[in-house]
Chain A
Amino acid sequence: MIRFDNVTKTYDQQSHPALDAVSLDVDRGEFVFLVGASGSGKSTFIRLVLKEDRVSRGAVYVAGQNVANIPSWRVPRLRRGIGVVFQDFRLLPNKTVFSNVAFAMQVIGRSRAVIRETVPDVLATVGLEGKNNRMPHELSGGEQQRVAIARAIVNRPGILLADEPTGNLDPTTSMGIMKVLDRINQNGTTVVMATHDDDIVNTMRKRVVELRSGSVVRDDAQGIYVGEAGAMAG
């Protein structure tokens, strides 16, 4: 589903590359943790999949297509096939829960009838039944992230990218979010989650790809992750 073929990304000539000759295959329906300290290249990985940045060398394939060959007017179509969730939720503060999710459908021209039918279903999937008319500030952090996840999957993308989705949440709430992501993965969506939360990685027992200074240093099928602090202690 996502293939990185010897990808190098350099933001400017002097500094160390953000990604250094990374090769990686993520199959359809997989759940992959992308782990590593801040600055290890996790966010760059996500930006390259979305074609927000161009690779310096190598090639990124999404659903079999080299993203470098996608003309700019077709990039929106690429992004419709990918849902994204961030650490800071990025909800629209002046819209209700329902409207925030519906927004993602409105902007790609879905009809009102389809929106009215789909949004409640998706909100149920993420565990937000009955909160349609709440405003974001009335929700807890975990609930806000569920709204963001609902928005990311409402157009049924094949891929869900999550950039530190639990970074702002306490451990219990984080586990709730992980359950939601796992359920989405069970339904066939490929999930790539960047994180440095070792508890979550170790509990989920999924594939773990560890990046350090832009290089893949480990790729375990059912891996664990010992974060920075743990590594120093050990």
Chain B
Amino acid sequence: MRLAFILSEIGSGIRRNLSMVTSVILVTFISLTFVGAAGLFQLQIGQMKGYWYDRVQVTIYLCVDNSSETSCAAGPVTEDQRAAIQARLESEQFAPYVDTVTYESQEEALGHFRDQFANSPIVDSVTADQLPESFRVSLVDAEKYEVINEAFSSEPGVEAVSDQRDFLEAIFRYMNWASVVALVIAGIMTFCAILLIATTIRLSAFSRRRETGIMRLVGASKAVIQLPFILEGVIAAVIGAVLASATLWGASRFLIDGWLVKTFPQTAFISSQQVLILVPALVLLGAVLAGLSSLLTLRRYVKV
């Protein structure tokens, strides 16, 4: 009975206050969409890190003839130097760090180069002796790149030690920036949402002050008096959260599944299924936000 009563009160509250409730829905919708977008960026970064860090290799380039690097002033790498580097890589000392070591000769490097730049005219002008031979080292723990770098960059015959992570990290930095921007926008919009919910509840409380006055007099409990207002805000915010979730899901299907995955097939993208992980979090966030701000407002505007 009391539940039915509270529900009917909520219904009449929303009807009376329809334009304000709509604006609450829209503002929470936008703010939670940005919160969700920031979350998606983070998910994507995590996904890419997990995928790429397992695959990144450290490449130890060996000196070629006419190398411009100072470390190669002594000329191209000798047989002995190459053997010494390989022996060290496979030694006990580096066993905890090094997973596998692959040697790539100048001819193999040229082969890879031709594959990679198959459509480019420079292919014909490149010869095998211009490309460095190298050791491709995959690590047990990709974070331990520095160990290899320090140990081998000053080794005779080594031109440079390079880590693909530098390139990835630049990408991650941009994505982190994007998620920070999304979070800042989300923060501002959330602040708007809180103010708007407070205003809406205030208007709602004002338009129903007659009812709440009578409820007080006949001894209605605090819950019965305040719950309709709180739920009014919470319902609006949850609708906003559902809209935000649907938008994020739609955008991820369209952008990621429909375009990015096809365009960059080697890259690991989050799936639109993973977006669904965010839904309960967004709905909860919306509900808590609305609940708290209406609770605080009611304390001031609806005496019990």
A110 pairs with B218, CB closer than 8 A: no
A92 pairs with B2, CB closer than 8 A: no
B210 pairs with A107, CB closer than 8 A: no
A109 pairs with B2, CB closer than 8 A: yes
Q: Check: B221 CB closer than 8 A to any chain A CB.
A: yes
Contacts of B224 in A (CB 8 A): 107-109
A107 pairs with B1, CB closer than 8 A: no
B9 CB to nearest chain A CB (Å): 9
A103 pairs with B214, CB closer than 8 A: yes
Contacts of B217 in A (CB 8 A): 50, 79, 84
A73 pairs with B222, CB closer than 8 A: yes
A90 pairs with B213, CB closer than 8 A: yes
A90 and B214 contact, Cβ closer than 8 Å, known pairs A106-B1, A109-B2, A111-B1: yes
B206-249 vs A, Cβ < 8 Å mask (1 yes, 0 no):
00001101111111111011000000000000000000000000
B214 pairs with A108, CB closer than 8 A: no
A76 and B222 contact, Cβ closer than 8 Å, known pairs A106-B1, A106-B5, A112-B1: yes
B219 pairs with A151, CB closer than 8 A: no
Contacts of A155 in B (CB 8 A): 218-219
What is the total of A-B residue contacts with beta carbons within 8 Å? Answer: 61
A151 to B211, CA, bound (A): 13
Say which residue of A75, A76, A90, A110 sits within 8 Å of B1 (CB atoms): A110
Q: Check: B304 CB closer than 8 A to any chain A CB.
A: yes
Q: Check: A78 CB closer than 8 A to any chain B CB.
A: yes
A67 CB to nearest chain B CB (Å): 14
A92 to B214, CA, bound (A): 9
Output the nearest chain A residue to B213 by Cβ-Cβ distance: A90
B218 pairs with A79, CB closer than 8 A: yes
Contacts of A104 in B (CB 8 A): 214, 218
Q: Check: A54 CB closer than 8 A to any chain B CB.
A: no
B260-304 vs A, Cβ < 8 Å mask (1 yes, 0 no):
000000000000000000000000000000000000000000001
A80 to B218, CA, bound (A): 5
The bracket for how many chain A residues form the interface is 20 to 34
A21 to B2, CA, bound (A): 42
B221 pairs with A76, CB closer than 8 A: yes
B219 pairs with A108, CB closer than 8 A: yes
Q: Check: A15 CB closer than 8 A to any chain B CB.
A: no
B105 CB to nearest chain A CB (Å): 83
Output the nearest chain A residue to B221 by Cβ-Cβ distance: A76
A83 to B213, CA, bound (A): 13
A109 to B3, CA, bound (A): 9
A80 to B215, CA, bound (A): 10
B7 CB to nearest chain A CB (Å): 12
B218 pairs with A108, CB closer than 8 A: yes
Which of B213, B218, B224 neighbours the largest number of chain A CB atoms within 10 Å of its CB?
A: B218
A234 to B220, CA, bound (A): 47
A76 and B210 contact, Cβ closer than 8 Å, known pairs A106-B5, A107-B5, A110-B1: no
Q: Check: A14 CB closer than 8 A to any chain B CB.
A: no
A89 CB to nearest chain B CB (Å): 11
Which of B1, B219, B224 neighbours the largest number of chain A CB atoms within 10 Å of its CB?
A: B219
A103 to B1, CA, bound (A): 12
Contacts of B1 in A (CB 8 A): 106, 109-112
Q: Check: A57 CB closer than 8 A to any chain B CB.
A: no
Among all A-B residue pairs, the 6 with the closest Cβ atoms: A80-B219, A107-B220, A79-B219, A104-B218, A109-B2, A76-B219
Q: Could you list which residues of chain B lie within 8 angstroms of chain A, going by C-beta atoms?
A: 1-2, 5, 210-211, 213-222, 224-225, 304
A-B contact pairs, 6 of them (CB 8 A): A73-B222, A79-B218, A107-B2, A107-B218, A107-B225, A109-B5
User: Contacts A110-B1, A111-B1, A155-B219 given; 17 further ones with Cβ under 8 A?
Assistant: A72-B222, A72-B304, A73-B222, A79-B217, A80-B218, A90-B210, A90-B214, A92-B211, A103-B218, A104-B214, A106-B2, A106-B5, A108-B224, A112-B1, A151-B214, A151-B218, A152-B218
